[in-house]
C-alpha cells in the first residue's frame, strides 16, 4: 500500500509542470509581440559634462636654456575622472593667462582613489621655441585617445 501513494504523487507533478509551462510560454510570446509593436527608441545622446577643476601651482621653475617655465600644478577634480590633456590645457591657459598653443602637459600623475592629480606643465614663450620632438610626442598621445 505504501508503494501506491508515491506513484500517484509522481503522476500529478508532471501534469502540474505542463500546466505551468504553457502560461509561461504564452507570456513570453506576448512580450515578444509587444516589443515588436513598440517603436524603437533612438539611443540617447550624452550631454557634454561640464567639469570644474581647482588648480594650484605648487612649484614654478624658470628654465632659460630651454626657454620655458616649468610648473607643477595640483589639480583637484572632485568625484570625476582624471581630466584630459585638452581640458587641462584650457584651464591652465585661463589661470596663467597665456595662449593654449604654448602650453605642453608633459605628465599627469594620479594616485588611485584620490580626487587629486599633479600635472607637470611646460609653458614656452613662443610656439616656435617648442622642440619638434615634444610636439610630435604630445600629438601622438592626444591622437591615440581620440581614436579609441
- Other Cβ atoms closer than 10 A to 40: 7
- Position 144 confidence tier, pLDDT thresholds 50, 70, 90: low
pLDDT tens for 16-42 read 555 555 666 676 666 666 655 555 555
Residue 49 has pLDDT above 60, yes or no: no
**Separation between Cα atoms, residue 90 and residue 86, nearest integer Å:** 6
Q: Does domain 54-147 bear CATH number 3.30.70.330?
A: yes
Lowest model confidence (mean pLDDT) among 16-25, 77-86, 103-112: 16-25
- 111 confidence band (pLDDT: 50, 70, 90): confident
Phi, psi of 101 (to 5 degrees): -70, -25
Q: What's residue 80's pLDDT?
A: 86
Bigger pLDDT: 141 or 13? Answer: 141
Cell of 100: 593654449
Instruction: Provide the pLDDT confidence category of residue 141 given band limits of 50, 70 and 90.
Output: confident
Element (H, E) at 107: strand 103-110
The pLDDT confidence band at residue 148, using thresholds 50, 70 and 90, is low
Block residue for cell numbers 609653458 = 123
Q: Which residues fall within 8 angstroms of residue 141, CB to CB, at 6 or more apart?
A: 85
Q: By C-alpha distance, which of 147, 49, 148, 139 is closest to 89? A: 139
Predicted model pTM = 0.62
3-class state of residue 58 by DSSP: strand
Q: Which residues pair with 73 in a beta bridge?
A: 57, 119
Amino acid at each position: 500500500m505504501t508503494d501506491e501513494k508515491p506513484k500517484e504523487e509522481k503522476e500529478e507533478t508532471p501534469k502540474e509542470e505542463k500546466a505551468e509551462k504553457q502560461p509561461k510560454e504564452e507570456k513570453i510570446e506576448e512580450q515578444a509581440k509587444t516589443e515588436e509593436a513598440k517603436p524603437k527608441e533612438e539611443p540617447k545622446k550624452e550631454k557634454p559634462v561640464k567639469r570644474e577643476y581647482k588648480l594650484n601651482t605648487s612649484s614654478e621653475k624658470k628654465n632659460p636654456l630651454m626657454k620655458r617655465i616649468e610648473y607643477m600644478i595640483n589639480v583637484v577634480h572632485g568625484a570625476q575622472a582624471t581630466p584630459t590633456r585638452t581640458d587641462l590645457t584650457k584651464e591652465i591657459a585661463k589661470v596663467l593667462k597665456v595662449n593654449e598653443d604654448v602650453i605642453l602637459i608633459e605628465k599627469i600623475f594620479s594616485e588611485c582613489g584620490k580626487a587629486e592629480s599633479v600635472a607637470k606643465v611646460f609653458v614656452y614663450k613662443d610656439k616656435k621655441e617648442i622642440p619638434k620632438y615634444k610636439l610630435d610626442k604630445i600629438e601622438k598621445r592626444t591622437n591615440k585617445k581620440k581614436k579609441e
